Amino acid sequence: MLSTIITHELKNIFFSPKFSVTFIVVSLLLILSVIVGIDQYQKAIRQYETTTQLVQQEMREARGWMSLNNKILRKPDPMQIFVAGVNNDVGRISGISSFFAVKLSHSTFSDDPIYAVFRFVDFAFIVTVVFSLLAILFTYDAINGEAEKGTLQLTFANAVPRAQYIVGKFVGSWLGLIIPLAVPMLISLLLLLLWNVPLQSEEWLKIVSLFAAALLYVTFFISLGIFLSTMTKRSSVSFLFSLVTWVCMVFIIPRAGATVAGHIITVPTVAEIEAQREAFSKDRWTEYEGTMQEKWKARNAPTQTMTKQEREAFRDSKMWEWMEEDDRDRKQVQVDIDEQAKKLNEDLRNRKAEQEYLAFVLSRFSPASAFQLAAMNLAGTDIALKSRYEDALNEYRPVFNTYKDKKQKETGNSGGFRIEVNSDTGVKIDAGREKGVLDISEMPQFTHPKHTFSDAMASAVIDFGLLGFFSLTTFAGAFVRFLRYDVR
């Protein structure tokens, strides 16, 4: 009985006139996006490699160890083919030097704004928007459509248990939609192999998990469609409900989450922080001046009754003590100001983190957000990508600088000029050493931050759980509704 219902539902989907057209279009879209993704990835890799070589070349040709600066490029990750995430927004390059803090700049979008205008339609986007819409369009009338057709009546004129029917309906629609959606996914895996995209087992695991998350997400919309089709008698009504729900989940809630979080937890702007720091600094210095005046009054007090000579002798004897004391106070002021700045920065970061957290919590009421977060976390193009790189860069910076200092001391070269006068060759001004002879073969190499499969899973597991939970509850809702559904 169950298998009859399932096969029938499968046929019902496969034979429906909208089926072939939609699935051809969706498959083409997905495959196209993967091809474009592979192309962009390979371009990024080429750019990464040539620029890295260029940086090496530049370093070898540096004037001396003192002026040696490194540049680190963010290494393209094949996962960006599927989930662009923040990849195009985060800077791709950072200088490493003694004087400047690390800072990633030159993002894809800032270098090529055209990409920002026509944002890359990646796998995650297609799944989030197109797959979910498809799932809804094929299921919104699963039950009430049959009631309208009259086929539900004829079905239940037979000894068909309702539970079996709704389960069969769900499994049938699930297979009928998942199989066709899995086909372009499998094709995209073939494309990766065909184009020789370098994938380690870690990445394969990530991709498989990403696909699993996508299917779970689609499962939710299948359940939702069936659920809504049990909520109303008329399919035109459930169609409207489905569309509205879809728009809310895919477009409104994720953005509303961020907006609401922004209103609940306000994060001061950089200018506000700057102003606060300035104000504190000004207050602190004014206070210092005040105490200074008091101090000098006190210091001068005993001299009132002294003769001029006594007074000068007294001041001379106290001079060092006073100077040291004043210096200490001044330094204390600077320490206070620095501490305040640090505290402000920390506050800012904490509030930002709080806001982010709240935004994620709120937006996760939508499975679309849950899926997107899962996808980005799996791909490593999540919001933490920037800080992962910055942390790695900050770790590397002292290592690099130590190496540089050591080398400089060893060669005893200050990086200055050398002027050589030779009767044969004339005057030669040399910038310390020959160009291109700096031996950087022992230079410590930057290790790109690792984003392992278990890291990915650890951060994605909550969203997997949510997607599973959403799917289950909507299906349970459909199930319960259908047990009492009027089949006439």
The answer to the question of residue 52 lying near other proteins (CB under 8 A) is no
The answer to the question of residue 149 lying near other proteins (CB under 8 A) is yes
- What's at 397, amino acid-wise? R
Near other proteins by CB under 8 A: residue from 21, 114, 117, 159: 159
Please say which residue, 17 or 198, places its beta carbon nearer to other proteins: 17
Place of tokens 């900050």: 394
Near other proteins by CB under 8 A: residue from 28, 32, 154, 186: 154
Neighbours of 237 (CB within 10 A): 15
Near other proteins by CB under 8 A: residue from 11, 342, 343, 406: 11
Segment lying near other proteins (by CB under 8 A), choices 129-137, 148-156, 224-232, 342-350: 148-156
Give the nearest distance from C-beta 177 to other proteins in angstroms.
17
Segment lying near other proteins (by CB under 8 A), choices 149-157, 173-181, 424-432, 450-458: 149-157
Segment lying near other proteins (by CB under 8 A), choices 82-90, 143-151, 260-268, 302-310: 143-151
Is the distance from CB of 138 to CB of 20 less than 8 angstroms? Answer: no
- Spatial separation of the C-alpha atoms in residues 411 and 121, rounded to whole Å: 53
Which residues, at least 6 apart from 379, have a Cβ–Cβ distance to it below 8 Å? 77, 79, 80, 82, 83, 85, 124, 206, 210, 456
For residue 366, give the DSSP letter: S
- What's at 257, amino acid-wise? G
Give the nearest distance from C-beta 176 to other proteins in angstroms.
13
Task: Give the phi and the psi of residue 422 in degrees, each rounded to 5.
Answer: -135, 135
The answer to the question of residue 163 lying near other proteins (CB under 8 A) is no
The answer to the question of residue 150 lying near other proteins (CB under 8 A) is yes
The answer to the question of residue 48 lying near other proteins (CB under 8 A) is no
Is the distance from CB of 340 to CB of 277 less than 8 angstroms? Answer: yes
- Tokens (6 digits) for 67: 């002026």
Near other proteins by CB under 8 A: residue from 155, 340, 401, 411: 155
* Rg of the chain taking only CA atoms, in angstroms: 34
Give the nearest distance from C-beta 155 to other proteins in angstroms.
6
The answer to the question of residue 17 lying near other proteins (CB under 8 A) is yes
> Which class for 428: exposed (0-12), middle (13-18), buried (19 or more C-beta within 10 A)?
exposed
Near other proteins by CB under 8 A: residue from 48, 120, 125, 156: 156
Please say which residue, 250 or 487, places its beta carbon nearer to other proteins: 487
- What's at 454, amino acid-wise? S
Is the distance from CB of 250 to CB of 136 less than 8 angstroms? Answer: no
- Spatial separation of the C-alpha atoms in residues 91 and 55, rounded to whole Å: 17
Please say which residue, 316 or 486, places its beta carbon nearer to other proteins: 486
- Spatial separation of the C-alpha atoms in residues 125 and 364, rounded to whole Å: 16
Please say which residue, 170 or 217, places its beta carbon nearer to other proteins: 170
Give the nearest distance from C-beta 5 to other proteins in angstroms.
8
Near other proteins by CB under 8 A: residue from 21, 114, 117, 157: 157
**429 SS3 class:** strand
The answer to the question of residue 484 lying near other proteins (CB under 8 A) is no
The answer to the question of residue 4 lying near other proteins (CB under 8 A) is yes
Segment lying near other proteins (by CB under 8 A), choices 3-11, 180-188, 229-237, 457-465: 3-11
- Spatial separation of the C-alpha atoms in residues 30 and 83, rounded to whole Å: 12
- Spatial separation of the C-alpha atoms in residues 131 and 213, rounded to whole Å: 12
Segment lying near other proteins (by CB under 8 A), choices 59-67, 159-167, 278-286, 410-418: 159-167
Segment lying near other proteins (by CB under 8 A), choices 14-22, 207-215, 336-344, 402-410: 14-22
Neighbours of 415 (CB within 10 A): 16
Type and span of the H or E element at 422: strand 418-422
- Spatial separation of the C-alpha atoms in residues 10 and 367, rounded to whole Å: 25
Near other proteins by CB under 8 A: residue from 16, 200, 345, 473: 16
Residues that bind other proteins (CB under 8 A): 1, 4-5, 8, 11-12, 15-17, 149-151, 153-161, 486-488
